[in-house]
Structure 1
């Protein structure tokens, strides 16, 4: 197993903690639902539009659009691991 250490600013760490707290709260909420209610909740909360975001770095605005191929054979986790293994030396 590879271990990756991230150094976060205080603000980034706070955001990460808030996100993880919300994820844990949502997981507990979903665990208490019946399978039918859980699927209904997930359908109601899924993205209805492509995932995208903008970030400004040093005065340049970068826009990222996520897209998914219907013919893809690689999982998202597999792709992330492949990219990390190609670009990170331990």
Structure 2
């Protein structure tokens, strides 16, 4: 398996990946509580850079705004776990002096 590359915003990618690993889903309004105000960009990075297939479910919010709910399942959960481990490993400062 090819090692995933680190995105420009590893903190945001880590938070969203970790959230998906709990088995829950997110829409763009819920992602704001995880300090992701450009959720569509994060989803795009997970899909294109990390090759995850996110399930997309259209829904209506209380204010009748149409949004998409994203989630992971099956083999993509396993891949997301590997990606998160790589992001965490790459984000730690090296102890080699």
The two structures have a TM-score, normalised by structure 1, of 0.25
Larger Rg: 1
TM-score, structure 2 length as denominator? 0.24
Q: Which has the higher contact order (CA 8 A, sep 6+)?
A: 2
